[in-house]
Chains A and B, each alone.
Chain A
């Protein structure tokens, strides 16, 4: 008989190892054993992903490994999610619009930030890559977003971050804006009026949590 602790530890390990087959198997097993799916998610998958973040931060894990960890995590989530109990009294999670700046099609960094924000409990609305300024603003309004995160990998596309910020501020929208990507640094983020800067996916999550007071 497998214990609850073994299942949760196994889920965390499967995520760290990027073992999609194992994470699926253990997610199913956790349901069979009557483990609360929320607990399996938080103390299994998310615990594993938190370790992945740590390993990435200290350069012990890199993008290929994280992509596989994400696959393993999402495989478990797909199984657990339909069984999650909806708690109407729970605090509404913060909503984040995420996308790559206009003119830029490099979205691996954006996808890593998206995945880590999801793990941290945010609701993500992914507007994709090469996203026009107006789309970021429109989506933030439609979704009543708390945060807008924009990434850019090129010196040409980084110039399309400031107009998003200006338009949102001009409309007095509540959304805070976080920017990141290879050519961006904290000075540039300040200069264009961004509320936060994440030098990598792990830092982006910390900044996002700070900005919404989580």
Chain B
């Protein structure tokens, strides 16, 4: 490089940190072996063709130290076969006559040997079959690559546990399947991303610790969080010449606030695409090799990447491999092997390439995005609003800048320089509707020009942190040379300290290359400044962080990811925040989502209606109309934080139904009724938020006790229609060519797509899907048999508000009618509700209408307030009677019944007052009387008393016929009237015949003390000389 001399002479001492060289060979002797189960040995579920199961393994010759961590390598797309005689290549699979497989998987043997020498088992997998077919597959074979890698891991898991051909038991117990690093080159790079996601979807049977994407494609823009990532972007890549792999880094930076996996991206100014693989490198394999930079620069004349330019900056192939040896070793040995000594290389604390990389100090540039536990985001620069308010809520501002603009953040400004993805790789790449990196463009022409970010008071204590860092790239369109500027910190006292970026980075170089349309490029690299270098200010009270553009007279840069970081985890109190799915609701149902930063571990929600929750993301129902203030208190071991949104939720229930209760006696049926106020359906619940017990206007049941139900009226929204009512508005036909067609629609309020009309050419199963964007996650999927002809089909797809939903038919059978003559009149819409916006036929979006006519949709139903209604149950009378009595013929007895407010005896024969509770009974013959007792609530019950008439003479002797016991029931004492002078014996027994008391009574001694005798029914037996009589008695 032309800059070598400069840096050797002037490189700041601060940058010359010493880190162990990861590229040196390790202590183990290495052995390798191959395995091959055939060219068509595996059928990936997602791929139309069988693929080969072929691979190699490099391992420590002495396996006794195992188990060893595993590295799994996947090559990219390349010619699959070659003719040794002619040197011609083919991408057939299996190879045709005269051709032999090109062993692309062996092209990383140099890396495999290196890693194996450090105690890793390195497996490299052949994927020629996928390469031969993947261009005709929707995802370019990426899922199949993931499935193939998982299949190899399954094989190795078998060999690691029970052994088997071809290795026998040699590897049993020798692989640590919980610690695996994966490396994918080119299409294999996107393949290892898909594999990590696939492994995770299977429940993570294997532990993927680190993923390295080497000059990868990123056609599908899948994102991988939770696993450390290193992307390698060779500046002179002429194959994937828009360096798509930077998106693997950029896309996941802020995707998951709980993501603890760091991201790294390494830019190599002299690297091309192919030289990482020896089988693809000219001179190292007999066929199919190329310096891919020639794909872009036919004459190899670019002053950086063109090998014909005498001053070019290209690496020799061996140098390129040396670089990979050094950085891949550092990455895997740190994240898979746990060798923390290499972290400075990856975390940009040591930006000098390892000596083994054999490149100059300014010939490798790392981006580093720390774990969320090691940083706070000062300004993510991820939307236009961050021009004035940073990510901490402080003011962002500029002074004097000639350009100050967020770009790349919307489709109207998807490129910052409008040069396209090759020169702006961080911006949107082709083929998929997904933006790239949002970044801040800055230009200055004065030393007084400033870009300033204010730190809110709660974020001013930076004493736990070690660096201020950001990513930046020189804008080659507004600058003619490398740049320098200062970063200044100001504390609460007004003291300031500044540091020149030039003292700590070489990343503000002028991007090389002059070919145009591909080079120069905008590439963001991390610039990391130690806070310790800002001397003389109070780091516990930093109020401003500024870029002071006083190092170069003028210049232009792009900036991203302005943050404060640390080498170690920093434990800060959480910053509470949350969001809701609705703020105005007629159902009262609200989904709360915790958005608290800094790793909350406990949550306390106050919903403002007197209820709380400790769930992280609770659903809550408000039963009463009104405005509710919601407070979330989030807590972690470092502290807690509270956020309150006043009157956040506006609940406007329809008025409650009018309800009528019922009062019954036990054992009767109760009928509760209600009248809906809005003409809706009434649902009866056993409690607010409880179980549904009934639907309807009147509910009849037999309660045992008083029971309250809560009635809620569900007011269903009316059916609304959208879309063409039928297929007669234009011409078209049945489409069955593929399952790639559909239409887009936007939903503005919660609704349900209940039915659509389709026209089916033939009966058969179809799978109808709604996706969150074409190629996005499946929101709904329904497989049904659709008969031939016009059919209205039930979908009942509940939709939340969102844009760019995509509805289609997926699978082998489509065969439904679509309009293709340009007659559709998009948008078909119900304003404020739903809008069908167009088809996915690129360039003719509005000319096609696919499959689904006459949509019947229904907005979400409203729920009234609850109307409580009660069935009051009164108890039946607890009847106590005198019990059966015996009287002599012609005698009488006083009957008795209690438990209510009135009595009525039947038959009335022999009674002096049938409506008395204590009638005198004088029946001439034995009679069974039934007494009906009524309570004060009108509840009635009956009991029977048998009055037995006897001819016993003793009775007469005793003249007991006139005997009266009183009071009845008795309390404390009972009097016996009607006794004569001759004493008679009395025996008081309980109803089981147990003797309770005994004695003598006569006319003068006619009371019996009852103190201490429990309440209840008893028999009092009076015995004279000749006879006796038993009288029932009740003691209260």
Q: Do A and B bind each other?
A: no
